Structure 1
Amino acid sequence: METLAFQSNRLDVTEDFLSRAYTPMRIGGRPQKTGARIERASAGGLLVDKVDFDYTLSYDAGALDKVCLITLHRGLIVDTTGGGRTAHGPGETFLVALPDRPYTGEERGARYTITMFDAALLDQVAGGDERRDGPVRFTGRTPVDEEAGRRLGRTVAFLRDTVLGGPAPAAEGLVVSTALRHLAAVALTSLPGTLTAHRPRPVDGRDAGTATLRRAMTFIEENAHRDIGLSDIAAAVRVTPRAVQYAFRRHASTTPLGHLRRVRLAHAHGDLRAATTEVSSVLDIAARWGFAHPGRFAAAYRDAYGASPSDTLRAAP
């Protein structure tokens, strides 16, 4: 994991840093105070910044070419892109801009979290689909409803506070890649876009048989140690992502990623049974298999094996 910290009381220095850290931009205004603080943590294509401005500033920025989510904690952000005017307040999570578009606006004493990742991940998570005309893209910047906004905010908070933050960040291996895919999936279902406009086609149902399920399960079991998602599973068995989802739902009463989690949990169980406490810990083994939240890992493990992970580790030879 990489970190950096920036702090300045000069507008020109802040403008230079923002232009290098995000996209070329100009900031303006005549503030009485000019304090700016930014703390960054990044790993595996995921970038999370904690930003704090104690003054009002305007901005005129170029395209980011990334998905950039803002979670506002204090103050106000007024978006004026394209001549419009949309105000965002504390508690909201939204796209600061469409990835390929410039943007303008004003920040008024704002403290917020920036969460960014490569827009290409959206297509990887959504998977190939002959019904789409071109890549997956967002068509709006605010969540489709209040619950979608809360869901997106909770996901950002988990990545900020657990995966890349806190006294013991879990930023390693499958933890980051799994969390990042999850964020992309939540963004796709929470924000307006081309993916949410699609409807299932009958061909997906015809492909959702037991043969598809068996091939998908085999691929998952052989590749659980890798950073794989729904699109990888579908490509391996040569059906659409939706057909894979239907197959698991109809014949296994779960989802492809739910089965992947169970397979990884089984590998973690095996590692715990074979480990020695001198060289291994529950947290190490959980992170190795993509489990970032110790409490959730312990609960899932107890449900599956009737004992806590630490009990299994202590009983190991």
Structure 2
Amino acid sequence: MTLPSSAPEPLHQHGRLRTDDVDLAQSVVSAVYEPHVLEPHGGGRLDARLNAVQNGSLTLGYLTYGVGAGITLPPSERWYHVNITLSGGSRVARGDSVRGETAAMAGAAMLVPHHLQTIEWDSDTAQFALRVPRVDLESHLENLTRTRISDPVDFDLVVDLNSTAGRGLLRCIEFIRSEWEDGGILTRYDNSRRHLESLTLTNLVMAAGGPHRELLDRPTGQEVPDALQRAVDHVHDHAQSLPTLADLTAVAGTSARTLQNQFLRHFDRTPIQYIRDVRLRGVREDLLHPSSPEVTVTDVAASWGFYNLGRFSSMYREVYGEAPSETLRRCRS
């Protein structure tokens, strides 16, 4: 997700703020995210810029202040925030004892709802700021672990973006950005937004450290009878509505790790890979038997939840040895 220096700002069509006025910057950013105190440092002129979109329950924005700045975020009880550093760096403190640093494309600050937190930005810092409702994130973690979450989660202060899940989180953020910039399918289809929200939250809780890891990584214990079959049936019955891992754990009545192990043992596929395979087979069937002479590859791919057509075509060719357009052309002829 490295951005060329000549590229437009991320989400530039969705500008919310351009100002050198400190009070205005604090007011607008507070309205989009959460009330806080902004204090520019070093005597330079503020150059605050915020571009932001609302993707379902998630708020994603590109934010920079153009000068060194301190931000004080009081407890709110309502939101988790993830500040993904794109350039520059930041130093973050939670309360009086927990401290961490983020560097460009290597770390993200995880801000929790129940603690006072302070952030110091370098003058060249720019970040993607992701706001997640507390109820959504904790409900998602409940679904993944099959465990009641009654209190805010003390996630570790810094998320490693170089981990597998961290890179997955970056890919989710990049996809949201590109779809909103291009006016893509994500901006028009509720199912696609819901699926991407769930995938983003899964990667976030998997990438973040903290006490919740014990719930995610605990031994599987006794498997729930018929859990795998219930999950598989749900995939085949609802493949076009893009079931998520959280959906499958709820249907199966077991944790994400237990379900993942069962899928790997029986199918040599993760649940997400299995869902993708079923969706690809659905596309193949619809291209082999088009519903009308006017149907296009884009129509069929979108109906099965494939919104990045370049990536979809590459996967399809890898599995079936031909481009999806070739399949449709052959059947029509």
TM-score relative to the length of structure 1: 0.83
Query: What corresponds to 2:167 in structure 1?
Result: 151
Secondary structure at the aligned position of 1:47 is classed as: strand
* Residue 91 of structure 1, CA deviation: 2.2
C-alpha change, 1:266 and 1:295, in structure 2 (3 Å) is same
Report the CA distance between 1:140 and its aligned residue.
0.6
Q: Amino acid of the residue matched to residue 63 of structure 2?
A: V
| Structure 1 pair 248–96 and aligned structure 2 pair: CA distance change class (3 A) | closer
2: CA distance, partners of 1:117 / 1:236: 24
Query: What displacement does 1:15 show?
Result: 0.9
The 3 A distance-change label for structure 1 pair 182 and 4 is: same
My pick for the range that moved more, 99-108 or 162-171, is: 162-171
Q: Does residue 175 in structure 1 map to residue 187 in structure 2?
A: no
Residues 73, 111 of structure 1: 8 Å contact kept: yes
- 2:236 is paired with a residue whose SS is helix
How many residues matched?
Answer: 312
| Partner SS state of residue 88, structure 2 | strand
Per the alignment, residue 68 of structure 2 pairs with: 56
1:137 aligns with 2:166: no
In the alignment, what sits opposite 1:36? 48
Counterpart in the other structure of 1:78? 91
Preserved contact between residue 76 and residue 88 of structure 1 (Cα < 8 Å): yes
Structure 1 residue 148, shift from structure 2 partner = 5.0
- Deviation (angstroms), 1:113: 1.2
Aligned residue in 1 for 2:101:
87
Counterpart in 1 of 2:210? 193
Q: Go from structure 1 to structure 2 and tell me whether the alpha carbon gap of 1:131 and 1:66 turns closer, same or farther (over 3 Å shift).
A: closer
Partner of 1:235: 250
Runs of 4+ in 1 over 6 A off after TM superposition: none
* Unaligned 5+ runs, structure 1: none
Give the fraction of aligned pairs with identical amino acids, expressed as a percent: 19
Mapping of residues 188-227 of structure 1, within 5 Å: 188-198=205-215, 199-204=218-223, 207=224, 211-227=226-242
**Which AA in structure 1 matches 2:199?**
H
The answer to whether the Cα contact below 8 Å between 1:69 and 1:115 also exists between their aligned partners in 2 is: yes
Q: Aligned equivalents of 2:296 and 2:45: distance in 1?
A: 48
Does the CA contact (< 8 Å) of 1:69 and 1:93 recur in 2?
no
